[in-house]
Amino acid sequence: MINLASIFPNPLVPDCIFTSPLLATEPSSETAPMVLAGVLLSLIFIYLASKLGGELSKLVDLPPVLGELVAGVVVGVSALHLLVFPEAGAVAGDSVVITILQFVGLNPESTEEVFALSSEVVSVLAEIGVIILLFEIGLESDIRELQKVGVRAAIVAIVGVVAPFVAGTVGLVLIFGMPTIPAVFAGAALTATSIGITSKVLSELGQLKSTEGQIIVGAAVIDDVLGIIVLAVVASLAKTGEVDIVNLVYLILSATAFLVGSIFLGKFFNKSFVAIAEKLQTRGNLVIPALIFAFSMAFLANAIHLEAILGAFAAGLVLDETDKRKELDQQVIPIADILVPIFFVSVGARVDLSVLNPSSAANRQGLIIAAFLIVVAIIGKLITGWAIVGQEKINRLAIGIGMIPRGEVGLVFAGIGAASGVLDKPLQAAIIIMVILTTFIAPPLLRFAFKGEEQLVEQPELS
Amino acid sequence: MINLASIFPNPLVPDCIFTSPLLATEPSSETAPMVLAGVLLSLIFIYLASKLGGELSKLVDLPPVLGELVAGVVVGVSALHLLVFPEAGAVAGDSVVITILQFVGLNPESTEEVFALSSEVVSVLAEIGVIILLFEIGLESDIRELQKVGVRAAIVAIVGVVAPFVAGTVGLVLIFGMPTIPAVFAGAALTATSIGITSKVLSELGQLKSTEGQIIVGAAVIDDVLGIIVLAVVASLAKTGEVDIVNLVYLILSATAFLVGSIFLGKFFNKSFVAIAEKLQTRGNLVIPALIFAFSMAFLANAIHLEAILGAFAAGLVLDETDKRKELDQQVIPIADILVPIFFVSVGARVDLSVLNPSSAANRQGLIIAAFLIVVAIIGKLITGWAIVGQEKINRLAIGIGMIPRGEVGLVFAGIGAASGVLDKPLQAAIIIMVILTTFIAPPLLRFAFKGEEQLVEQPELS
């Protein structure tokens, strides 16, 4: 086998002013072409997994996103190791991608660097994927409909945060005899719904624009903000034993200002956006200004310590109000199609099923606590549908189920709790199992709850 | 200002099994959200630059891609420092993006890491951008038309490699009294046309499918392969003083096998591709299989030491033959719209105009040699149009001009030559200036050459 290093003996000297990303065999740094090769291979595996999983899921009449998550588990750290990430403790030797790269000339000394860099690129692509997903969800949501359901969404969100938090904390103290601080931490981990998974399933079921769908999305957004606030409170409680009031007030004010502000600003920005897009005459005249806006809002939300995805969702809501919505929607579809699966497959790939192995004592204890947390997590959200008083004709079950998947914020709680020493290993494992289970059961349950009234969404017709 | 680190005190423990890319404020590693923020900011700057540059260029009746390149220079290392890359020797302190991130809470100790990681992500996105560009060019090219022009394209490619190589080498030895090895190196740097820039301009002028356009694209592909072979020969000559025959034979055989093989394989794969795409029922049923194919071909080309873009071009050519071409084309447009500008703006951003500053003695000497190289570079390619014998009705000037831009391969020569000590600073600077100039003059000249016969391509109608 011919080694690339024998053709290109040395890296570019640092004073070479211009290094090109074009030539994949370019020696600007010996690792650069290998990082690209690693990213390409990872994307090939991700796309294969997403299509296989999505299609199989569809065949057995389940939401495709569930198949993508499961396929992610199959290609990830739990099984095939085609897609592993260093943050979870994996090293280059664990990665099949790196093993393949070694066959095509990757230098053994560079494996860790190439693994770290290509994994980082895939991670950022996944994050951009979920930003695009929430932008698309925003585009498909109707700001007027959201305002109409605003009060009901707020009720669902607040009940869905308070109920599992109180039930979880009290239960852990009374039933399991846990000290207060870890119980509060685990209770807090039960609060925040995963907006990404829920909204994707709603979209797949054609229910995003239904009253129930808009209540769920609205509640998930509010509940995401509440989750960030709860996280800040609990984290400062765990760290100093008291609540940092200044920080708390700051978070509440900035979150409110951001959401309300972006909607008001949006009303003015609407027309300028259309005017700009109509003046532009080069390719991407619509999609590039839209992405500049979405990424700016995502950056802004991130900068004030909210989530980037909230900014992208707000940007989508604003642009939904323009005359260009339909055209933009059509152009965002293929972009979402290639980026969003990276997110879902990565989420699956990071799930380590070894916490379910009962041969470890900590796992066994964790499984028992997990069973309790799962019951609280499901019931605590299920009841939210019945918290909406008055309205007769509303699918309360669907709303409750829509709020079940926990996803990311719960895992952040687990991580912070473990790092600050508040959570012991069984409790940490229990939280993780709860997150995995609620994430995976919600899609099929939601499909079941909407059975009969569903508007089957077939292939978007682009041709 | 509230620091994120005060809310999230610690990174996740390594045994936390599941870290999520969703929450941008996630503490999985303190740097992760900042890398995302850095990439978002970089993309915002890139998109703003590409639209401003492209539109201004269009206004003064020049090809938009020229404006994107110039805008890249403006935002890059030569001027605003909004987009700088560490390979060129920049540090975090040079980057405006990093400065902005420090305002929103980036820890001073993490600046270099965040700078390196976010730059790497942008570089890989640019590389994926040019892969998508060549895939799109392949989709827009016609394999039958390419086969029809094959002999003429080969003549253009061979003359366009031999003429500047011989003239450059002999001229440097005779006029400048240079030793043979550096002269051969500089001569070799004059050989390879930049297929990316030329094909983009042709596409913008609506000339991609004209006979001239197909000759240029075909010749650029062949000439790219020749360039890689010349590079291997010259690099081994510079390193060991002799030519590595085994490696040379391997490269020639693998390049031929790859190009011929992918076309033959394509004839079979065509039908399976359409059959697969028609069976799939979930979103992205067409674009995801297409990208799996394109990325696999790019990876394969990369693995056998060709360029990734050649694989992507071959993939596009193969899929151009299917019934799904039009539908696929439409879906690839928005994807290309958001990825391709990253490539062109990055190319501009990496250009350091300080090599043009005549106050340094090496630059002055470099400028004189550069003037010679530029003349050889332009004339050596211009004559290729007239190398095609027989045909009367052909725009020979346009073909010659189409081959002028050198771009990346020339810079790789400069880099390897400098690293191996063969090229001194003036000669290295001269090669870089030659590349910059040929890259920037070709788009307006090509537009001029096609004046009159141009089919103005307005906005692609997607609505």
User: CB B47 to CB A247 under 8 A?
Assistant: no
Q: Which of A323-327, A352-356, A429-433, B21-25 has the highest mean pLDDT?
A: A323-327
Residue B433 to residue A444: CA distance in whole angstroms: 61
State the pLDDT at residue B145. 76
Q: Residue A403 — very low, low, confident or very high, per pLDDT cuts 50/70/90?
A: very high
- H or E element in which residue B458 lies: none
Separation in Å, CA of A320 to nearest CA in chain B: 16
- What residue of B is the nearest CA neighbor of A302? B24
Q: Is the pLDDT of residue A26 over 50?
A: no
**pLDDT for residue A415 is more than 80:** no
A48 and B292: CB-CB below 8 Å? Answer: yes
Contact B235 A26 (CB under 8 A): no
Candidate from A51-65, B233-247, B358-372 with smallest mean pLDDT: B233-247
Radius of gyration of chain A (CA): 23
Question: With contact defined as beta carbons under 8 Å apart, do A342 and A67 qualify?
Answer: no
- Per residue in B133-167, pLDDT tens? 889 988 887 777 778 888 899 999 999 999 999 99
- Give how far B206 is from chain A: nearest CA, Å: 13
Our CA-based measurement puts residue A323 at a distance from the nearest CA of chain B, in whole angstroms, of: 12
Q: How confident is the model at residue A30 (pLDDT cuts 50, 70, 90)?
A: low
* Average model confidence (pLDDT) across chain A: 82
Nearest CA in chain A to B247: A2
Residue of B nearest to A106 (CA): B303
Comparing alpha-carbon positions, the chain A residue that sits nearest to B38 is A299
Predicted confidence (pLDDT) at residue A5 exceeds the cutoff of 90 = no
**B299-316, pLDDT tens digit by residue?**
998 888 777 888 898 899
Q: Which tens digit of pLDDT belongs to each residue from B34-74?
A: 999 999 999 999 999 999 999 998 898 778 888 888 899 89
Tell me if B415 and A27 make a contact (CB, 8 A cut-off).
yes
Spell out which residues of chain A touch residue B10, defining contact as CB-CB under 8 Å: 416, 419-420
Supply the Cα-derived Rg of chain B in whole angstroms.
23
Exposed/middle/buried for residue B454 (C-beta within 10 Å: 0-12, 13-18, 19+): middle
Interatomic CA distance for residues A18 and B353, integer angstroms: 10
Q: Annotate A337-357 with b (16+ C-beta within 10 A) or e (fewer).
A: bbbbbbbbbbbbbbbbeebbe
Residues in chain B: 463
> What letter does residue B405 receive in the DSSP assignment?
-
Q: Of A43-52, A141-150, B189-198, give the lowest mean pLDDT range.
A: A141-150
Name the residue facing A299 among B44, B54, B89 (closest C-beta): B44
Q: pLDDT-based confidence at B453, cuts 50/70/90?
A: low
Q: What is the pLDDT of residue B240?
A: 72
Quick: pLDDT tens for B319-376.
Answer: 988 888 889 999 999 999 999 999 889 888 887 788 778 888 878 888 899 999 999 9
Q: Average pLDDT for residues A157-177, to the nearest whole number?
A: 93
**Residue B9 pLDDT > 70:** no
Q: In degrees rounded to 5, what are phi and psi of residue A389?
A: -90, 160
Candidate from A225-229, A362-366, B459-463 with smallest mean pLDDT: B459-463
Position B335 scores a pLDDT of 97
The answer to whether A26 contacts B415, with C-beta atoms less than 8 Å apart, is: yes
A51 has a pLDDT exceeding 90: yes
Between the ranges A179-188, A303-312, B168-177, where is the mean pLDDT highest? Answer: B168-177
Query: Is there a contact between A28 and B351 if contact means CB atoms under 8 Å apart?
Result: no
Chain A: residue nearest B329 by CA?
A463
CB contact under 8 A, A124 and B343: no
- Mean pLDDT confidence for A311-317: 88
Q: What percent of chain B has pLDDT over 70?
A: 89
Least CA distance to B301: which residue of chain A?
Answer: A24
Mean pLDDT score, A17-24: 33
Supply the pTM of this predicted model. Answer: 0.86
DSSP B89-153: T--GGG-HHHHHHHHTT--GGGHHHHHHHHHHHHHHHHHHHHHHHHHHHHHHS-HHHHHHTHHHH
Q: Span A382-390, mean pLDDT?
A: 86
Kindly report, residue by residue over B73-124, the tens digit of the pLDDT.
Answer: 899 988 899 999 887 678 898 899 999 999 988 888 889 999 999 999 999 9
Q: Which domains does chain A have, with CATH numbers?
A: 29-124 (no CATH), 130-449 (1.20.1530.20)
**Residue numbers in B near A301 (CB within 8 A):** 24
Does the interface predicted TM-score (ipTM) exceed 0.90? no
Q: Residue A314 corresponds to which amino acid?
A: A
pLDDT tens digits along A326-359: 899 999 999 999 999 998 898 888 877 887 788 8
Distance from CA of B392 to the nearest CA of A (A): 35
Q: What is the mean pLDDT of residues A391-418?
A: 80
CB-CB: which of B104, B288, B408 is closest to A338? B288
Token couple for A354 = 């070894």
The residue among A6, A99, A124, A343 with the most chain B CBs within 10 A of its CB, best to mutate, is A124
The CA distance from A16 to the nearest CA of chain B, in Å, is: 6
User: Could you tell me how many CB contacts below 8 A there are between chain A and chain B?
Assistant: 419
Tell which of B282, B296, B356 to mutate to test the A interface (max A CBs under 10 Å).
B282
Q: Which amino acid is at B342?
A: I
Instruction: Evaluate if residue B21 carries a pLDDT over 70.
Output: no
